[in-house]
């Protein structure tokens, strides 16, 4: 442990006094030995900064608390600084030993084949290896206004993992850049974009009040015409909490003569049997899409169809790219509450796109 005062002692007496009596405690999660939480305290401190010693971004907090998940085991030096101002601070460091995470056993569930009669497999990601392929990029931050939905999370690259043949997006309760939650949002924009076909996505979904996972698409002309004129296809979205844990929706959003329109409320969601949830095991969320209609299936059970031949639905006859994300809070699910358990994970086994021969 050592102490640093981040201001010159020769400075004018008018300089703010640095904080005093800085100390912090490190708690390692029982469920995940690579996750830590920090509680720091100091006198005369206006804010704190946390450096977790692995090259990741520094986290700032007003209340002295922060959480972080390491990507690998090892010995790390955690540095905490208590600030009166940006340049007037004291700093303390401690060592922490991070253990390997126990191999997670992923559940079984429904699966689909790699070929269908009359179709070609034109793109797939089986999430092999240890990182995302070049087909994906991250969207970072809050979108300026909670991504248009008053969401509460800050999207970071660090909340995405590729391991054991799966994509894992983790929503965490942690203070980062003024937000109380973090998660990830990945897209295939300008990398993989498609018009029509069969899309299969096999996934286990996160659960809890305020948790909002989605597997969806935006029109490839989004940057030019904006939303909703580009069109939005929600292959799957789930609004977490209570009996909603066994329901998923498939919806469209578009511009109808200058007015935002959607199929919200048209048709019933897909529901599992009582007592089951989409977090229990893998399910396959399928979109069947051609020039005339879009159909939604879960585990090959058709539950929703929309006719896209009307002129004001022409957006859905163009190319679209994928977005996978787990939001926290927002207009639809509301905020997490005392029943919400963190971290929450969406695990994706594969995404496959087939097109007619």
CA atoms within 13 A on the CB side of 318: 17
> By three-state DSSP, how is residue 182 classified?
strand
Is the distance from CB of 350 to CB of 110 less than 8 angstroms?
no
And the tokens for 317? 């006859």
Is the distance from CB of 242 to CB of 251 less than 8 angstroms?
no
Catalytic residue among 151, 174, 193, 237: 237
Which pairs with CB-CB distance under 8 Å and at least 24 residues apart come from 298-301? Answer: 298/236, 298/248, 298/270, 299/110, 300/110, 300/112, 301/270
Residue 91 annotated in active site? no
Which residue bears the tokens 């699966």?
111
Is the distance from CB of 189 to CB of 321 less than 8 angstroms?
yes
- Which residue in 348, 327, 241 sits closest to 284, CA to CA? 348
CA separation for the pair 47, 62 (Å, rounded): 4
Classify residue 113 by burial, with Cβ atoms within 10 Å: 0-12, 13-18, 19+.
exposed
How many residues belong to the chain?
357
Residue 255 phi, psi dihedral angles, 5° rounding: -100, 120
And the tokens for 165? 């043949």
CA separation for the pair 283, 279 (Å, rounded): 9
Q: How far is CA 10 from the centre of its chain?
A: 48
CA atoms within 13 A on the CB side of 203: 30
Helical (H) or strand (E) element with 36: strand 35-43
CA separation for the pair 227, 146 (Å, rounded): 15
And the tokens for 26? 């490190």
Catalytic residue among 232, 292, 315, 319: 232
Residue 232 annotated in active site? yes
**Would you name the residues annotated as active-site residues?**
232, 237
């Amino acid at each position: 442990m050592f102490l640093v005062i981040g201001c010159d002692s020769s400075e004018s007496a008018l300089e703010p006094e640095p904080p005093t009596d800085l100390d912090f405690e490190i708690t390692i999660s029982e469920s995940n030995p690579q996750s830590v939480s920090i509680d720091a305290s100091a006198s005369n401190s206006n804010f704190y900064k946390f450096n977790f010693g692995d090259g990741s971004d520094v986290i700032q907090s007003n209340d002295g608390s922060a959480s972080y998940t390491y990507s690998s085991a090892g010995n790390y030096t955690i540095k905490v600084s208590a600030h009166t101002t940006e340049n007037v601070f004291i700093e303390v460091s401690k060592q922490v030993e991070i253990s390997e995470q126990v191999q997670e056993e992923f559940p079984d569930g429904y699966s689909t084949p790699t070929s269908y009669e009359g179709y070609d497999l034109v793109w797939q990601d089986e999430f092999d290896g240890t990182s995302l392929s070049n087909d994906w990029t991250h969207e970072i931050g809050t979108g300026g206004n909670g991504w248009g939905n008053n969401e509460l999370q800050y999207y970071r690259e660090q909340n995405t993992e590729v391991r054991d043949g799966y994509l894992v997006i983790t929503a965490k309760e942690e203070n980062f850049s003024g937000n109380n939650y973090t998660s990830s949002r990945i897209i295939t924009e300008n990398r993989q974009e498609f018009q029509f076909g069969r899309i299969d996505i096999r996934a286990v979904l996160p659960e809890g009040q305020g948790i909002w996972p989605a597997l969806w698409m935006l029109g490839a002309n989004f940057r030019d015409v904006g939303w909703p004129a580009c069109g939005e296809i929600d292959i799957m979205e789930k609004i977490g909490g209570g009996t909603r844990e066994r329901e998923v929706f498939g919806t469209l959003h578009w511009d109808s003569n200058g007015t935002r329109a959607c199929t919200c409320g048209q048709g019933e969601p897909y529901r599992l049997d009582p007592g089951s949830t989409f977090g229990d095991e893998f399910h396959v969320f399928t979109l069947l899409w051609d020039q005339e209609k879009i159909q939604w299936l879960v585990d090959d059970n058709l539950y929703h169809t929309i006719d896209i031949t009307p002129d004001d639905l022409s957006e859905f006859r163009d190319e679209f790219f994928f977005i996978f994300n787990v939001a926290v809070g927002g207009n639809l699910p509301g905020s997490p509450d005392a029943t919400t358990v963190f971290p929450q994970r969406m695990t994706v086994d594969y995404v496959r796109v087939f097109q007619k021969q």
